[in-house]
Amino acid sequence: MRSVVLIKQVPDSDDSRDLDPGGRMLRTGGKQVLDEIGERALELVLGHREATRSGEVVAMAMGPSGARDAVRSALAMGADRGVHLCDEQWAGADQIRTARVLAAAVRREEPDLVVAGRASSDGAGGVVPALVAHLLGWPVLSDLASVDLGEGEVTGTRLTDLGTVSLRVLLPAVITITDQLPEGRPPTLRGVLGARRKRLTTTDAADLGIGGPDPRTVVLSFERRRRRAAGVKVTDDGTAAARLATFLADRRLI
Q: What is the pLDDT of residue 237?
A: 82
- The structure's pTM equals 0.81
Q: Is the pLDDT of residue 9 over 70?
A: yes
91 vs 82, more confident:
82
- When pLDDT is averaged across residues 25-38 and rounded to a whole number, the result is 79
Q: What is the pLDDT of residue 35?
A: 94
6: nearest Cα among 91, 89, 92, 125: 125
Strands 32-34 and 9-11 come out as: antiparallel
Spatial distance between the Cα atoms of 114 and 215, rounded to a whole number of angstroms: 25
CB 82 within 8 A of CB 57: no
Spatial distance between the Cα atoms of 246 and 254, rounded to a whole number of angstroms: 9
DSSP secondary structure, 120-174, as one string:
-TTT----HHHHHHHHHT--EEEEESEEEE-SSEEEEEEEETTEEEEEEEESSEE
- When pLDDT is averaged across residues 57-76 and rounded to a whole number, the result is 96
1 vs 13, more confident:
1
Spatial distance between the Cα atoms of 136 and 132, rounded to a whole number of angstroms: 6
Q: Is the pLDDT of residue 28 over 70?
A: no
Highest-scoring range by mean pLDDT, 23-32, 89-98, 104-113, 202-211: 104-113
Q: What is the pLDDT of residue 210?
A: 86
Q: What is the pLDDT of residue 22?
A: 61
- 2-208: CATH number: 3.40.50.620
Q: What is the pLDDT of residue 215?
A: 72
- When pLDDT is averaged across residues 45-64 and rounded to a whole number, the result is 96
CB 146 within 8 A of CB 87: no
Residue type for position 63 = G
Q: What is the pLDDT of residue 218?
A: 75
List the chain domain ranges. Answer: 2-208
Q: Is the pLDDT of residue 18 over 70?
A: no
- When pLDDT is averaged across residues 30-40 and rounded to a whole number, the result is 90
Q: What is the pLDDT of residue 25?
A: 62
Digit-coded pLDDT (tens) for 99-120: 999 999 999 999 999 999 998 8
State the chain's mean pLDDT as an integer: 90
Digit-coded pLDDT (tens) for 127-158: 999 999 999 999 999 999 999 999 999 999 99
Give 251's pLDDT tier (boundaries 50, 70, 90).
confident
Query: How many other C-beta atoms are found inside a 10 Å radius of the C-beta of residue 166?
Result: 9
